[in-house]
Amino acid sequence: MKNESNIKVIAYIGPCIRDCCYEVKEDFIKKLNINSNFYYFKDKKIYLNLPFIVKYQIKQYFLNLKNTIKLENTIELDLIDVNKCTYCSNNYFSYRKGNKEERNITILSI
């Protein structure tokens, strides 16, 4: 049976800590076996790019999905990234800045 409807998926990456501020230790990178495409070194420190990891994983998931079920239709993936760092901005709570009690929440509806 052919599935002939078009599929549109919208993925939204909201405010989160960004690679400008997300410093991690080498043992963290090794323990999670994180690919070197997802982090960089600056001033002998390691900075991890979480949104880039999420974007990569979403794209891989949909490529695998399309190949697995052999869709005859198109899958349109729209990745929206607001590019807001919760550490840099004073508009969001940041655990790393000391906000241990407050949390951010994003609510989406269809």
- Per-residue pLDDT tens over the stretch 74-90: 778 889 999 999 999 98
Burial tier of 50 (Cβ tally within 10 Å: 0-12, 13-18, 19+): middle
At residue 1 the predicted structure's pLDDT band, cuts being 50, 70 and 90, is very low
* Helix locations, 21-96, DSSP H: 26-31, 50-69
8 A C-beta contact, residue 59 and residue 77: yes
d(CA 89, CA 69): 42
For the chain, give the mean pLDDT. 86
Check pLDDT > 90 for residue 71.
Answer: no
- Per-residue pLDDT tens over the stretch 11-32: 889 999 999 999 999 999 999 9
Point out the least confidently predicted range of 31-35, 55-59, 95-99: 95-99
* Widest Cα–Cα separation across the chain: 57
